[in-house]
Structure 1
Amino acid sequence: MTKSVATIIPTSTVTPATVSCANCQACCCRLEVMIISDTGVPDYHISTDQWGGETMLRLADGWCSALDRDTYRCTIYDQRPWVCREFAMGSDDCLTERAEFNVGGSL
């Protein structure tokens, strides 16, 4: 009789305790964000790219126009784009951005 050994495949990333939006400096707010669904983003935060697609307006320094520079919080949190809603704290993408901008809790 042989014993079966179950293989466990992880389905999610374990978020290090040091990864928090509160200590991040908003790395994700420097990324280009396409607006692909209607979440109520105010028109003054919307830009049109060279192909006619709607994106979050980024200021001359590359930061999202909806970011409060003092608190690093989104000023339109309840109306933020779907992409921002899906960008998970501690995900591989989050950790990569934190590493690129030298913020604690990186890879």
Structure 2
Amino acid sequence: MDAAERWRVLRLHVEDQIPLAALARETGISARTLQRWHQLYRAGGSTSLDPRDRKDKSVRRTSAETVAFIEQLALCRPRPSLATLHRLAVTDAQARELPAPS
């Protein structure tokens, strides 16, 4: 949804004084999202409603070594449970002095 489409929805609240809760029910957009859009609009006008890319897009927080270790474990037969996989990955990451996966 681009800025123009967001403004079309938000305009009903700003100009026509339709409550955000009623607008959320009519449009299917959550009330919290509408509140966030309204806050952005008040701070910077309709141009601030443009969607932004995430700053951490395509950035892995888990090290490549830990990912490779988890993939290796996940592909063995019989496949370990997720809890076991996580426990082993945390142990391996601590042994390599890397941050543990969540």
> How would you bin the TM-score normalised by the shorter chain?
under 0.3
Q: Which has the larger radius of gyration?
A: 2
Give the TM-score taking structure 2 as reference length: 0.24
Q: Which structure is richer in relative contact order (CA contacts within 8 A, separation 6 or more)?
A: 1
Give the TM-score taking structure 1 as reference length: 0.23
More helix by share: 2
